Amino acid sequence: GKLVGEDKYGNKYFENNEYFLGRNRWVHYAPKHGLEYDGSQIPSEWHRWLHSMTDDPPNKVPPSPQHKWLADHEQNPSGVNPRREYVPYSTTRPKIEAWKPPSKPL
C-alpha cells in the first residue's frame, strides 16, 4: 500500500484500494511500542479514516478546530499500567453474601 500519513505519535497509516473495503486501510504502530500496541493508541481523527467514516485523511482535511478545553489523546492504560487502570466500583450493598463455612472449635 501507499503511505497516506503519520500522526504525532509516530503511527503510520497506509491504504491500498485493490483490497476489499474494510481491509484496504491499516496502521503500522510506532516502533517505540514494540509488540505492546493496541487500538487505543490511535487518535480519534485517524480512527475515523481507518474505519472509512471519512474518505479524506486528517493530514489533508483537518477535523474541526481544536478547542483549548479539549484534552490531548491518551491511550487506555488499563492493560499497561496497573496503577492507572480503570476499576469500577459500586456504592450499593450487594444483594447476596458469600457463604462462610463454620469453623470447628479446637
| Phi, psi at 86, each rounded to 5° | -85, 125
Higher pLDDT: 83 or 2? It is 2
Higher pLDDT: 15 or 21? It is 15
pTM: 0.70
What would the grid cell of residue 22 be? 474494510
Quick check: helix, strand or coil at residue 32? helix
Are the C-beta atoms of residues 31 and 39 closer than 8 Å to each other?
A: no
Give the rounded percent of residues in the chain with a pLDDT score beyond 70: 98
| Residues 39-61, mean pLDDT to the nearest whole number | 89
Q: How far apart are CA 87 and CA 63, in angstroms?
A: 32
Quickly state the pLDDT bin for 74 (edges 50, 70, 90).
confident
| Phi, psi at 40, each rounded to 5° | -75, -5
